[in-house]
Amino acid sequence: MYNVVGNSSDFILEGFFFPPEARVPLFLLTFFGYIIIVSLNGMLLLVITLHKNLHGPMYVMLCNLIVCDLIGSSALMPRLMSDFFVDLKVISFGACIIQAFCIHMYHFGAQLILAAMALDRYVAICNPLRYASIMTPRTLVKLCSIAWGCTFVMVVVVLSITIRLPKCKSLIVHAYCFNAALFVLACGDYSVNNISGLFVAYFTCGLSFSAIAFTYVKILLTCLFKSHMNAKNKAIQTCASHLTVYIIFETTLLFSIMALRFPNINPNLTKSFGAVMITAPPCLNPLIYGINTKEIRNTVLKYFKKKIRHT
């Protein structure tokens, strides 16, 4: 273990263990994965921004989720690519804190934004006649501000407590910086950091799950009592994208948490679960929304048909 004196300005990331011949294939895989994430999310963001028929509350919240996804993937993947070609993966204290901040903003922010999106779907399906009066621009701004504001405060609090700890070690036993990997480097007792970190994690998971479970039970009951088959199909199609995205996010998060709790698991596998949690949802979300959401699908198809006719 690398020892440091006081609060050193540098940390060392353990990274992945792989043979030298695997460096180029892994770099290319990560590079093209990042290009796909930025391209798909950027295109979806552009489509929603440029077309007025996609300026409704659901799509504005989707834009917030896209921004959140890009923050997480951009905090991890470029750094990961550069680390493939160096043996000693040194990261400065400031860069490490910024990376941890962005990753936790993605982690907690995505859950709260998904909860807000669930509330929007609940109002749209269970109170369709009052939807326009409830989901006003002012309400939308409040929901998005609460999601981002709560996330920012929680991340700043947990990282501020960690930053104040005196460091006795410099080796981060992971491929990237995050709160739990940082406070274990402390000289003394870090139980307060552990408890505060777990509290924030359970709070955001619990709040997100409660909001989504409540809204989808209500939506399910509303659909059961709707006699019109088209209304049922529209409600199911509207919720399918959101629910799929939530399940993917929570599944990758669950595997990542479980891997950290079992020390006998292969280290590369543990680190891979952590990386997949940050990269899989941003890669899949635009595909899921683009394919399952009729308005987005039709707008994209109309745009490409128009371009083809002009060529």
Looking at the domain assignment, is residue 5 inside a domain? no
Q: Which domain holds residue 193?
A: 10-310
What mean pLDDT comes out for the span 210-232? 77
> What are the DSSP calls for 107-159, one per residue?
HHHHHHHHHHHHHHHHHHHHSGGGHHHHS-HHHHHHHHHHHHHHHHHHHHHHH
pLDDT tens by residue, 46-97: 989 988 888 889 899 999 999 999 999 999 999 999 998 888 889 999 999 9
For the chain, the first-to-last Cα distance in angstroms comes to 62
In this model, does residue 111 exceed pLDDT 60?
yes
Looking at the domain assignment, is residue 256 inside a domain? yes
What total of structural domains would you count in the chain? 1
pLDDT tens by residue, 134-158: 999 999 999 999 999 999 999 999 9
Looking at the domain assignment, is residue 144 inside a domain? yes
Looking at the domain assignment, is residue 215 inside a domain? yes
Looking at the domain assignment, is residue 4 inside a domain? no
Among 57-71, 200-214, 251-265, 284-298, name the one with the lowest average pLDDT: 251-265
Mean pLDDT of the chain: 85
User: What pLDDT, on a 0 to 100 scale, did the predictor assign at position 7?
Assistant: 46
Select the more confidently predicted residue: 269 or 281: 281
Select the more confidently predicted residue: 257 or 130: 130
Looking at the domain assignment, is residue 1 inside a domain? no
The CATH code of the domain that includes 171 is 1.20.1070.10
Looking at the domain assignment, is residue 303 inside a domain? yes
User: What pLDDT, on a 0 to 100 scale, did the predictor assign at position 10?
Assistant: 86
